Amino acid sequence: MRFYEVPDTLYAEQDQFDRDIKEYVEGRINPVKFKAIRVAHGVYEQRQEHTYMVRIRCAAGGITPTQLKKVSEVGDVYGSGEVHFTTRQEVQVHDVLVNGVIKVIRGLNDVGLSSRGGGGNTVRNILTSIDSGISSTEVFDVEPYAIALTTRMIDEPDSWNLPRKLKISMSNGPDDTTYTQSTCLGFVATVKDGVKGFQVFCSGGMGAKPMVGHALLDFVPDTHVYHVTKALKVMFDKNGNRRSKYSSRIKFLWKKVGEDEFKRIFHEEYDQIKNDRSLDLVLESIDNSAKSTDLAVQSVDTAEFELWKKRYVTAQKQEGLSSIKIPLELGDVLRADANSLCDFLLNFGENTMRCERDQNIRLRNIPTEYLGNAYNVITGLKKSLVKHAPFIGNMINCTGASTCKLGICLPRGLSSAIRDQLTGTDLDLDIIPDFRLNMSGCPNTCGMHHVANLGFFGKVGRKDGDMYPAYNILAGGKVEKAGEMKYAQRVDEIASHRIPEFVNAFLKVWIEKKKAGTYADYNTFLEEEGNTLIKTLCDSYRDVPTYEADAGFYTDFGAKRRLSMDELGTAECSAGMFDMIEVDKKQIKKARKVLDAGSDEERPDAIQKILFSASRMLLVTRGLDAKTDEQVYDLFGKHFMTAGLIDEKFRPLLALGKAADVSAIFAQEPAVLALTSEVEALYKNMDDSLRFKATDGKVIKEREGYELDSEVEAEPVAKTIQMFEKDYRGVGCPMNFVKTKLVLETMESGDQLKILLDDGEPIKNVPGSVKLEGHAVLLQEQVGPHWEVLIQKK
Amino acid sequence: MTLTEAQVERYSRHILLQDVGGEGQEKILNAKVLVIGAGGLGSPIALYLAAAGVGTIGIIDGDVVDVSNLQRQVIHFTPDVGVPKVESAKNKIQEINPDVNVVTYQDIVHSKNILDVIKDYDFVVDGTDNFAAKFLINDACVIAGKPYSHGGILRFDGQTMTHVPGEACYRCVFKQPPPANAVPTCSQAGVLGAVAGMLGTIQAAEVLKYIIGVGDLLVNRLLIFDAKSMKFRTSNFKKNPNCPVCGENPTVTELVDGEQAVCDLKV
Ligand code: HEM
Ligand code: SF4
Ligand SMILES: [Zn+2]
């Protein structure tokens, strides 16, 4: 069984990708170009250079035990050894080195999984309700639609080059477990006059500028799922070229053109195809049953077992079958755990598992008489949180600064710290099993803080110029009912290190009130006293020790070093980047006030400041970092004027700026202000891919011959790479590294060295030490009892 | 030159350092360092340089080992009493590291021999015990364009600086030797043996840093420590244009021997 079929064209694409990787390593493709190629293959660079994560599509969250075993095998051989279950109901392999990427991808072919479209401007993984097909209260099973739609969409060439990503989700009933209003296109199963169909929402989205989705169609028959999606996709695609200001994301398009116009242009497409029955999806219903097995039944008869059943086991609508939630520690599964779990599941067949959007695993189709066996297997997993109340495993956190280039804080560390704090108290967490405590490392919402009951997203705190990790606090997200979604609102902010105590104190009050039945629901509690409580608690934690007094406060949970923005990705990084842009925006605003109200003596200075900030403001979007004031003008001239983004007529201002000739600049006041408006307009029309658009919505293409990277790094020059090979099996630590170093010293930059190392300490230590010296580790692969490590000299 | 298997093994803890590596170790193996004085400072300096694999170590000292030396001059052992210090030192160095070529001079430095002795070395280390010698070494090194490490200890205190050609010298800070007996000599003051070890190893580290070319040397800086309070501080100073030896109009143009308040209790 498979949850989608990969198109045949995929293999040729992989061969091309393989060649691209080789060219990149040899320096013949620059990193920016390589990024565009790899992201479409679901391959993202992690915070550490030359280290990648591979995102694997799991339509409807479906993955078979056979598939998971394979993913954890390639993850173990080429990556960190853990498979990560994500909020997008898919799986990821982390810490894959550049030459391992293609091996992971080809390994997945064996089991019909693909990372194609894991990222990039395409139709992303389609989400479905976790209990779809097995819930006794659902309207109907939506999985067949998600699966058929996925297979159809990834087979259509026009799915691969959309203006932006397109996210789709499908709920099996009005309790909307897939948050259809937080996504580009959401389907909610419903029945009208005896006809199966969907209520359709669209234009929702989280991210740094969240928007709640709107009702697009009150009802479409279930035969029309493809038509709606196709129409939206085509309309989306076309609008990329329309005279529209906000064309990049569906949510912005709605905001810009308004409901009526949006619906009109949607129907323009939809009405053309809606009666074409040849386009209907070919649905295959999903058989939720268990294969018969001669596995011996294990019966367990303990209080713990009964508690576990209450917490984690749900009866399915299918007689005699159960669904089981496995709470994972930070969403990660070790290979050994995956193997023991999957081997158990294969007794009952391939349709036994789903990825749950709270970064957990949900089993299904487990015969109830085997619950004892399941209990024994699950409690035997090394990295599960099954001993705890469901609240603990339900916490969501993005990967944050440990691997993500945009991350400010480390929500993984925070999540563990909160867990340690709460499990050390007598809080009755079983009172709030469904509580959503979600954390993101930056404003980008990968940890879904907008839908949280209590959410956090990372920010930089400052004390006397020192930076410490901190979070914004949000509360009150509402997702329980289709059409009534509400995002959480920001309430306050707090230092990372105060959060565990804060959460403890806050939940203590909520659990008491909930037990006592004081309020109708959580949001009423918030309105009546919860929001005030958050602020009062924050006030009591407001005190920040100086760095001298408590250095630990300045190092995030789970971080090795104190918080610093140095390693933030530049062009890829929106969070840190927006902060930098803000500085110049504020400076311009302040100077404008002086122009309006200040004295005459202050005016020339203000104009100079405006010119400087306007020139600097957008450099960061191109990944440029001016070392001196003069360089600001040089870089701005080259990357904005020569590139054709800003009118050449302003060029004379740059020389004045460089010469810091205040009176000459002041004489050009109108030109400076006009230039500033152009820069601001450019920024206003920048999309999340950092592309600038003209007011007509067209992407402003950089002028021919202009190469963004020419300044940042020299044009790639092809070089013949020399290969070296050394066998350090049997050589202990640190002599193996000593020898490796000595060989690297004799090599030329760009040359590659393959070393053989023993398992254990050598493989744990040597590659890391090589990286610390600045070399790139391209591949690290276990071959029998030893390891092969491929190093490229810096 | 490439390292032998045995050398890779012996110097692996150097090679592991990102700033040293095989290349840095080869520089050490090719270096020539002169240690003036095989006493309290010279002992740790010579021992550490030998262990590090400095290719050629020159040692100049005119004394024989006295039992009162053994409290701090750790390169000499009890059976060495009566043996010339340079002999005793050479034996120990070769036991530590047969790679090292030791050149000995059983003599004291004076104005007539010093230029000739230092000319073959890349770096000079002052491990002497009196101001006259310290000024002589400074002047000779400035005139000959040799980098050198100055070091002095007294009671619980130590001070050191490093001179490289073109930067401040010892005379830039201290114009001339204090009159004889104006400062206590070691016999009057005594010295805690371990203080000699502390300062000597700092000097040895400066030598090695200079050879491999990493870090910031104590150039234009004087490091002073007090082992009683265990406080270290460095004060910055500049090359003095009026310096008698390295200034714009030098008055010390040839070497003379000062009056040496020779210490009974050799450092
Ligand atoms: C290099 C940059 C990024 C990486 C590597 C990344 C990675 C991820 C990952 C791994 C998830 C799943 C979370 C998990 O379970 O661990 C996720 C979810 C998500 N990401 Fe990102 N992300 C990036 C940038 C962004 C940006 C810039 C935005 C928005 C502007 C964004 C918006 C979201 C949202 C809204 C989700 C929540 C899932 C949902 O829609 O249900 N991400 N991202
Ligand atoms: S929320 Fe921010 S820190 Fe977390 S994964 Fe997304 S982009 Fe990275
Ligand atoms: Zn001088």
Task: Tell the residue number behind the tokens 């293999």, with chain if given.
Answer: A11
Residues B127-132 have a mean pLDDT of 89
pLDDT band for position B266 (cuts 50, 70, 90): very low
Residue A220 has pLDDT above 50, yes or no: yes
Task: Tell the residue number behind the tokens 């002795």, with chain if given.
Answer: B117
Residues within 5 A (CB) of ion ligand 3: B 169, 171-172, 243, 246
Suggest the residue from A726, A728, A741, A770 to mutate for an interface test with chain B (most B CBs closer than 10 A): A741
Atom number in ligand 2 closest to CA A458: 3
* Residues A21, A98: Cα–Cα separation, whole Å: 7
As a whole-number percent, the residues of chain A with pLDDT over 90 amount to 62
Say whether residue B10 is in contact with chain A using an 8 A CB cutoff.
no
Q: How far is the CA of A182 from the centre of ligand 1 (A)?
A: 13
Q: How far is the CA of A571 from the centre of ligand 2 (A)?
A: 15
Q: Give B16's contacts in chain A (Cβ within 8 Å).
A: 734, 737-738, 741
* Residues B250, B248: Cα–Cα separation, whole Å: 6
Residues A54-72 have a mean pLDDT of 95
Q: How far is the CA of A444 from the centre of ligand 2 (A)?
A: 6
Q: Hey, which residues does B123 pair with through a beta bridge?
A: B33
3-state secondary structure A310-333: HHHEEECCCCCEEEEEECEHHHEE
**A524 or A257, which is more confident?**
A524
* Predicted pLDDT at A628: 76
pLDDT band for position A209 (cuts 50, 70, 90): confident
* Residues A158, A122: Cα–Cα separation, whole Å: 9
Nearest to A113 by CA among A355, A404, A334: A355
Contact B8 A773 (CB under 8 A): no
Tokens of B140: 């000779």
Nearest to A635 by CA among A643, A644, A626, A648: A626
Rounded to the nearest 5 degrees, what angle is found at the Cα of A503, between the Cα atoms of A501 and A509? 105
* Predicted pLDDT at A243: 31
Taking the CA of residue A740 and the nearest CA in chain B, the distance in Å comes to 10
pLDDT band for position A424 (cuts 50, 70, 90): confident
Residue A748 has pLDDT above 50, yes or no: yes
Is residue B34 within 8 Å of B44, Cβ to Cβ? no
Taking the CA of residue B225 and the nearest CA in chain A, the distance in Å comes to 24
Nearest to A23 by CA among A13, A33, A14: A33
Residue A56 has pLDDT above 70, yes or no: yes
In chain A, whose CA is at the least distance from the CA of B16? Answer: A738
- Please tell me the residue having the least CA distance from ligand 1 atom 3: A404
Taking the CA of residue B193 and the nearest CA in chain A, the distance in Å comes to 35
Residue A709 has pLDDT above 50, yes or no: no
* Predicted pLDDT at A579: 57
* Predicted pLDDT at A244: 31
Is residue A672 within 8 Å of A610, Cβ to Cβ? yes
As a whole-number percent, the residues of chain A with pLDDT over 70 amount to 91
DSSP annotation of A749: T
* Residues B216, B209: Cα–Cα separation, whole Å: 8
Q: Roughly how many angstroms between the first and final C-alpha of chain A, as a whole number?
A: 46
* Residues A344, A358: Cα–Cα separation, whole Å: 23
As a whole-number percent, the residues of chain B with pLDDT over 70 amount to 92
Q: Is the CB of A569 under 6 A from ligand 2?
A: no
- Size of chain A, expressed as the number of residues it contains: 794
* Residues A21, A12: Cα–Cα separation, whole Å: 14
Q: Is the CB of A441 under 6 A from ligand 2?
A: yes
Residue A574 has pLDDT above 60, yes or no: no
* Predicted pLDDT at A576: 41
Q: Give B23's contacts in chain A (Cβ within 8 Å).
A: 745
Chains A, B: CB contacts under 8 A, how many?
25
Contact A739 B8 (CB under 8 A): yes
* Residues A182, A60: Cα–Cα separation, whole Å: 17
All residues at 6 or more sequence positions from B178 whose CB lies less than 8 Å from its CB, including other chains: B131
Q: Using CA of residue A632, residue A633, residue A636, residue A637, what is the dihedral sign?
A: negative
* Predicted pLDDT at A687: 64
Mean pLDDT of chain A: 88
Taking the CA of residue B56 and the nearest CA in chain A, the distance in Å comes to 23
Contact A741 B8 (CB under 8 A): no
* Predicted pLDDT at B264: 37
* Predicted pLDDT at A580: 66
Residues B94-105 have a mean pLDDT of 96
Q: Give B9's contacts in chain A (Cβ within 8 Å).
A: 735
Say whether residue A732 is in contact with chain B using an 8 A CB cutoff.
no
What 3-state class would DSSP assign to A25? helix
Residue A193 has pLDDT above 90, yes or no: yes
Tokens of A782: 């276990």
Residue B156 has pLDDT above 60, yes or no: yes
Residues A143-153 have a mean pLDDT of 92
Residues A318-331 have a mean pLDDT of 97
* Predicted pLDDT at A690: 63
pLDDT band for position A153 (cuts 50, 70, 90): confident
* Predicted pLDDT at A242: 36
Mutate to test the pocket of ligand 1, among A444, A457, A690 (most ligand atoms within 8 A of CB): A444
Is residue A198 within 8 Å of A225, Cβ to Cβ? yes
Ligand nearest to the CA of A182: 1
Q: How far is the CA of A412 from the centre of ligand 1 (A)?
A: 15
Nearest to B123 by CA among B55, B176, B73: B55
* Predicted pLDDT at B91: 97
Secondary element (H or E) of residue A727: strand A723-727
Residue A573 has pLDDT above 50, yes or no: no
**B131 or A535, which is more confident?**
A535
Q: Is the CB of A568 under 6 A from ligand 1?
A: no
Torsion angles phi and psi, residue A593, rounded to 5: -60, -40
Is residue A614 within 8 Å of A645, Cβ to Cβ? no
Strands A396-397 and A332-334 turn out to be: unpaired
Residue A734 has pLDDT above 90, yes or no: no
Mutate to test the pocket of ligand 2, among A86, A438, A446, A573 (most ligand atoms within 8 A of CB): A446
Residue A573 annotated as catalytic: no
* Residues A789, A95: Cα–Cα separation, whole Å: 14
Say whether residue B18 is in contact with chain A using an 8 A CB cutoff.
yes
All residues at 6 or more sequence positions from A26 whose CB lies less than 8 Å from its CB, including other chains: A718, A719, A721, A750
Strand order in the sheet with A313-315: A313-315, A321-326, A360-367, A353-356
Atom number in ligand 1 closest to CA A331: 15
Strands B56-60 and B101-105 turn out to be: parallel
Q: Is the CB of A446 under 6 A from ligand 2?
A: yes
Q: Give B15's contacts in chain A (Cβ within 8 Å).
A: 738, 741-742
**A14 or A123, which is more confident?**
A14
Residues B193-217 have a mean pLDDT of 97
pLDDT in tens, A293-318: 999 999 999 999 999 999 999 999 99
All residues at 6 or more sequence positions from A519 whose CB lies less than 8 Å from its CB, including other chains: A513, A525, A528
DSSP annotation of A546: -
Task: Tell the residue number behind the tokens 């990222």, with chain if given.
Answer: A119
Q: Hey, which residues does B158 pair with through a beta bridge?
A: B153, B225
Q: Hey, which residues does A367 pair with through a beta bridge?
A: A321
Secondary element (H or E) of residue A663: helix A662-667
Torsion angles phi and psi, residue B216, rounded to 5: -105, 120
Say whether residue B19 is in contact with chain A using an 8 A CB cutoff.
no
* Predicted pLDDT at A561: 79
pLDDT band for position A29 (cuts 50, 70, 90): confident
Q: Is the CB of A442 under 6 A from ligand 2?
A: yes
Residue A711 has pLDDT above 60, yes or no: no
* Residues A467, B190: Cα–Cα separation, whole Å: 50
Nearest CB to A734: which of B12, B18, B21? B12
Say whether residue A742 is in contact with chain B using an 8 A CB cutoff.
yes
Is residue A255 within 8 Å of A211, Cβ to Cβ? yes
pLDDT in tens, A641-689: 988 889 899 999 999 999 888 989 999 999 999 999 999 888 887 765 5
Tokens of B181: 């007996």
In chain A, whose CA is at the least distance from the CA of B25? Answer: A742
| ipTM of this complex | 0.80
- Please tell me the residue having the least CA distance from ligand 2 atom 2: A442
Is residue A575 within 8 Å of A601, Cβ to Cβ? no
* Predicted pLDDT at A681: 86
Q: Give A741's contacts in chain B (Cβ within 8 Å).
A: 15-16, 21-22
pLDDT band for position A364 (cuts 50, 70, 90): very high
Say whether residue B9 is in contact with chain A using an 8 A CB cutoff.
yes
Ligand nearest to the CA of B247: 3
Residues 752-781 of A with CB under 8 A from B: 772-773
Tokens of B108: 């004291």
Q: Using CA of residue A148, residue A149, residue A150, residue A154, what is the dihedral sign?
A: positive
Q: Is A12 exposed, middle or buried (0-12, 13-18, 19+ CB in 10 A)?
A: exposed
Q: Hey, which residues does A686 pair with through a beta bridge?
A: A692
Helix, strand, coil percent content, chain A, rounded in steps of 5: 45, 20, 40
Q: Give B22's contacts in chain A (Cβ within 8 Å).
A: 741-742, 745
Q: How far is the CA of A87 from the centre of ligand 1 (A)?
A: 9
* Predicted pLDDT at A237: 76
* Predicted pLDDT at A407: 85
Nearest to A127 by CA among A3, A311, A309, A291: A3
- Please tell me the residue having the least CA distance from ligand 1 atom 24: A444
- Please tell me the residue having the least CA distance from ligand 2 atom 3: A407
Residues A781-786 have a mean pLDDT of 87
* Predicted pLDDT at B145: 96
CA dist list (Å): B80 to B73, B86, B102, B127: 11, 11, 18, 20
Mean pLDDT of chain B: 91
Residues A616, A622, A625, A628, Cα dihedral to 10°: -40
Say whether residue B16 is in contact with chain A using an 8 A CB cutoff.
yes
Suggest the residue from A735, A742, A772, A794 to mutate for an interface test with chain B (most B CBs closer than 10 A): A742
In chain A, whose CA is at the least distance from the CA of B3? Answer: A742
Residues A308-337 have a mean pLDDT of 97
Contact B18 A735 (CB under 8 A): no
Most confident stretch, A144-158, A369-383, A404-418, A594-608: A369-383
Contact B21 A772 (CB under 8 A): no
Is residue B224 within 8 Å of B157, Cβ to Cβ? yes
Q: Roughly how many angstroms between the first and final C-alpha of chain B, as a whole number?
A: 38
Helix axes A411-423, A499-516, angle to 10 degrees: 50
